Structure 1
C-alpha cells in the first residue's frame, strides 16, 4: 500500500489525495518507519510539494512533514509559511513546525505572534487568524514552557463553591462550620455543594470531604449556547479582574474550557475558546496542555450555562498521596466523606482491616480522621497492592498490605473494624454477587471482635439487607444514602 502511494508521489500523480492517504497510513503501527525507509535520501521530493499551486496540497504537505518530523524541512516550512497567502493554510505550517526542534527560531515566532495579533483581517478570516495565533502560542509554550502565574491570595472576600456529594452536602457544611465564623463571612448549602464567602482560602483547601473548589463567575445573565455571546459575557464578567487580583504576573492566562451538559458540545467549546481569545485580545489563551485555569460551564435546565472557575495555580495538597489508582478506585474525597459519616462509631487505636483495599484509599482516609493502631489491607489484585504500598508511603502511613484472597485470610487476633468499598458487579451474574456477599458476611464473623463493626460502601443494597436478615449475629446500626441515582449507600453494621 505505502509503496504504491510512494510511487504515485514520485510520478506526481494525484498529489493531494496521495498525501492524505499516506498521512492516514502512517498512523498505523510500524507504517511510519516503513515510509521513512522508502523516503530516505528523497526527502526533498516531499518538500517540493510546498510549492504546489493547490492550497490544500500545500496544507497536506506541511502536515505530512510534521507527521514525519523531517527536521531538514524546517527552513523550507518557515519560508513557505511566510510566503503563504491563503490564511487557512498558515496554521498547518505552524502545526508541522511545532513537531520540530525550533529552539533557535524562538524569537522569530515571538515576533510573528505580535504581528499576527496586530493584523486587521475581515470578519470571515478571523477564525483562521485565531488558529494561527493558537499555533504560534503552542510553539512558544512547547519550546520555552508556559510562564505560570503564582497564586497570591485575595485582597477582598470572594465566593467559593465546595463541590461535594449532593445527598450528603451537610457533611462538608459541618466541616466548614468547624473552621469558625472568624474565617468565613457566609456559608450556606448550594445545589452543587456548599457555598462560602471568605477572604481566606487556605483553611478550605485543607477540608477533605469535597471534590473540587470552584469560584463562581458573575455575569449579567446566564451563558447561552451561542459562542460569541458567551465569550462576550465571560469577558465582561469579573473573570479577568479576579485572575489579576489573586495572581502575580502578566497576561496571558492559559485556560481550558469544560462544559458539563447532557449532550456533547464539541463545536460550541471550540468556537467559544477561539471567540474568548479574540474578545480578550489574547489576554486569555486557550491551551490543551499547559492551562493554569479552567472555565467550567454547567448546564442549567433551560439549556443555558452557569459559569465557574477552577484554579490550577492554587496548589491543592489534600490528596497528594494518591499517586496511583485503578479503574474502580474510590475518589479520596468520597472516602473521606464516608469516614466523616462513620466517625461517631470509630475507635482510636483500633485494629482495622480492609478486605478489598485496592490502592489503599479507604484505609488511609480512615487513619487520617481517627488514628488507628494496626491497619491491614488485602486485595486479590497484586498490582493494586503495589500501588497501595506506594500511596501509603507518600501519606506517611504504616499499613500492612497483603496480596491475598480475603476468603483465605487468617489472623491471630480479631479486628475492631472492617472498612471496605465493596467490588462492583460489573459483568458478574446476579447469582455470583449474591454468593459473594453471603461468603463475605460469613467470613467476616470469624475476623470481627465481639463489639466490632463493618463500615461498608456498596451499591448492592438488596444483597446487604438479605445477609442482615439471614445472619442474626449482625445488626444494622446506621445507613446513609450516598448516591441515590445508582443506589450507593454507606452501611454501619455491628455484631450483636
Structure 2
C-alpha cells in the first residue's frame, strides 16, 4: 500500500486523495518506517509544499511533521511565511510542533506580535484565531517557562473559601479562632465563605474548605467570551499577580468553565476567552492546558453573565499532602475534616475507633488529627484501597491498622468506642441491595460497639437510616447534620444504649 502511494506522489496523480490516504497509513509505525526508507532526502515531499492546491500543501505539511523530518523545518517555515491561504497557515505551525524550532523562535515571536496587534475582518477571524492558537502552542513548547514563587500580599484582598456544601458555619467557626488582625472581615457566600485578609498562609492551613479562590471584580458584567476576557484583563489581574509573586514574567493559565452548557459550546467559549486574554495581555497571560500555574474559573450566573475567579497553584498547599492515593469512591479530605469538626463534641479522647468502609483512610486520618485516638482500625474489601490507605497514613504520620476484609466477617478481641465512616453510595446497586447493606451494618455494629459507643457516618440514604433506627431500638439518633439538601447527604451521630 505504501508503495502505491509513493508511486502516485512521484507521478503527481490525485495528490489530494493520495496524501490523505498516506497520512492514515503512516499512523502505523511499520508503515511509517517503510515510507521513510523510500523517500531519501525528502525532496519529493518538500517539492509538494509549492503545489497550487492549498489542500495538498496542507496535507504534505502535516505528513512532514508527523514523520518528524528534521530537514523539513526550514522549508516549512518558508512555506508558512509565504502562504496566502489563511486556512492553511496554522497547519505549518502544527507540523513544526513536531520539530526543533529554536532557530526560528524570534521570527515566530515577531509574527505573534503582528497577529495580536491586528484586528481581523469578520471573514478572517476564524483562521487568524486558529493561527494565533497554533503559534501560541508552538512558542510555549519552545520557550523556557519560568516558575513563579508566591511571596504573599502587602495589602488585604478578598478571598473565597469554596466549601461545596451548606455547612459554611463550620469553616466560619474555624476562621473564628484566628487572630482578629488576620480575619479582618468574614461573611457567608453562596459558594462558601468570603474572607478579607492579606494572610493567605493562615487560610491555606485551614482544613474544612475545598479550594481557595480570588474573586475577579469586573467593571461591567459580560456574557460574550471576548468581552469577558477584556474585562478580566482590565480588572487588574496582571498587577494582582505581580504583587504576590517574586517574578514578573508571563504566567501560564488554564480556563475552567462551570456552567450548564453543551460540551462543544463550553470548549468553544473557553478557546475564544483564552485566545482573547492572550491577545489583550500581549501574551503576558499564556494559555497552557498542561503546565499551568493559575486557573481562571468562570461560573455562570442565573442572568447569563459569568462570575470569574482566580486560583493560584503557586500557593503552597500542604494541608492534605498525605493524600497520595485515591480511589473513585474516596471522600475529599476537606469534606472529611468538616464532618469530623461537626462530630467533635462526640469524639472520645484516646478512643478505640473503627472505619468499616475505610477506602484510602481519609476519614480515620482526619479524625485522628482532630482528636487523637488510642487504637485505629480501617477495613475495606478493596485491596488497592487498603494498600493506598497504608501509604497515606504513613505520609500523615499516623499509625493505623488497615485490614483487607469484609466488615461483616470481621472479628476482634475487644469492643470499639466509635465507628466512623463514609457509607458506600448506591451506584449500580439496587435499592434492595442497599437496604440489605444498611440492615447488616446496624446488626454488625452492635456486636462490636462498646456500651455507650457511637456511630458517626455520612450517608445519602435517609430513609434506610431511619428505617434501621426504628427496627433497632438499641440505637438512638443523637444528632443529624444536613450537609447537602440537594444531594440528600447528612452526617448522623447514632449512639448505642448501655
TM-score normalized by the length of structure 2: 0.91
Which aligned pairs between 1:211-230 and structure 2 lie closer than 5 A? Answer: 211-224=210-223, 226-230=224-228
Determine which of 107, 120, 124 is the counterpart of 1:123.
120
Q: Is the 8 A contact 2:105 2:142 kept in 1?
A: no
Distance 1:20 1:358, change over 3 A: farther
Q: Distance in 2 between matches of 1:10 and 1:388?
A: 62
Q: CA distance change for structure 1 residues 7 and 445 in 2, over 3 Å: closer, same or farther?
A: farther
> CA separation in 2, counterparts of 1:7 and 1:403?
63
Equivalent residue number for residue 92 of structure 2? 93
Segment of structure 1 superposing worse, 275-284 or 130-139: 130-139
SS at match of 1:240: helix
Q: Where does 1:253-402 land on structure 2 (aligned, <5 Å)? A: 253-264=251-262, 265-402=266-403
Tell me what 2:439 maps to.
Answer: 438
- Match in the other structure for 1:241: 239
> What are the superposed Cα offsets for residues 49-82 of structure 1, whole Å, 9 maximum, x if unpaired?
3332222332233233333434453343333333
Change (3 A) 1:352 1:90: same
Return closer, same or farther for 1:318/1:22 CA change in 2, 3 Å cut-off. farther
C-alpha spacing 1:399/1:24, structure 2 compared with 1 (3 Å): farther
The 1-side partners of 2:15 and 2:5 are apart by 9
Q: Give the aligned partner of residue 158 of structure 2.
A: 159
Deviates more, 1:111-120 or 1:1-10: 1-10
8 Å Cα contact 2:422/2:459 also seen in 1: yes
Other structure's SS at 1:378 match: strand
Q: Residues of 1 paired with 2:21 and 2:359: CA distance?
A: 45
Is the CA contact 2:112–2:135 (under 8 Å) kept in the aligned structure 1?
no
1:337 is paired with a residue of what secondary structure?
Answer: helix
Deviation at 1:392, TM superposition (A): 1.5
Task: Measure how far apart 1:352 and its partner are.
Answer: 1.4
In structure 1, the residue corresponding to 2:486 is in which secondary structure?
A: helix
For 2:105 and 2:334, how far apart are their aligned partners in 1? 43
Q: 1:108 aligns with which of 80, 104, 111?
A: 104
Is 1:32–2:33 an aligned residue pair? Answer: no
Any gaps of 5 or more consecutive residues in structure 1? none
Q: 1:139 offset after TM fit, Å?
A: 3.3
Equivalent pair of 2:252/2:291 in contact (CA under 8 Å)? yes
2 CA distance for matches of 1:420 and 1:221?
46
Give 1:16's aligned residue: 16
Q: Deviations over 1:150-178 (max 9, x none)?
A: 21111111000000133111111111111
Is the Cα–Cα contact under 8 Å of residues 416 and 449 in structure 1 kept in the other structure? Answer: yes
Q: Is the 8 A contact 1:150 1:247 kept in 2?
A: yes
Taking the aligned partners of 1:377 and 1:115, their CA distance within structure 2 comes to: 60
Alpha-carbon spacing, 1:312–1:402, altered in 2? closer, same or farther (3 Å): same
- Counterpart Cα distance in 1 of 2:119 and 2:16: 28
Q: Which runs of 5+ in 2 are unaligned?
A: none
Moved more, 183-192 or 259-268: 259-268
Contact 1:223 1:307 in 2 (8 A): no
Secondary structure of 1:60 counterpart: helix
Assess if the C-alpha contact under 8 Å between 1:298 and 1:307 holds in 2.
Answer: yes
Deviations 1:349-408 (A, max 9, x none): 221111111111111111111111221111111111111122122222221111111111
Structure 1 residues 153 and 128: alpha-carbon distance in aligned structure 2, compared to 1, 3 A threshold: farther
Q: What is the SS of the residue equivalent to 2:434? A: helix
Q: Contact conserved, 2:2 with 2:35, CA < 8 A, in 1?
A: no
State the 1:212 CA deviation.
0.6
CA distance in 2 between partners of 1:492 and 1:259 (Å) = 37
Give me the whole-angstrom Cα distance separating, in 1, the residues matched to 2:15 and 2:443.
Answer: 71
Provide Cα deviations, 1:434-479, integer angstroms capped at 9, x if missing partner.
1111111111111111121111111111111111111111111111
Going from structure 1 to structure 2, the CA distance change for 1:373 and 1:144 (only over 3 Å counts) comes to farther
Hey, what's the Cα distance between the residues in 2 that align with 1:9 and 1:364? 66
Q: 1:231 aligns with which of 229, 232, 235?
A: 229
- Give the superposition deviation at 1:10: 5.8
Q: Tell me: CA distance 1:6–1:478, structure 2 relative to 1, closer, same or farther (3 Å).
A: farther
Aligned positions of 1:189-228 closer than 5 A: 189-224=188-223, 226-228=224-226
The Cα shift of 1:219 comes to 0.8
Q: Could you say if the C-alpha distance between residues 69 and 407 of structure 1 is closer, same or farther in structure 2, counting changes exceeding 3 Å?
A: farther
- 2:299 match: secondary structure: strand
- In the alignment, which residue of structure 2 is the partner of 1:484? 485
Separation in 1, partners of 2:427, 2:375: 32
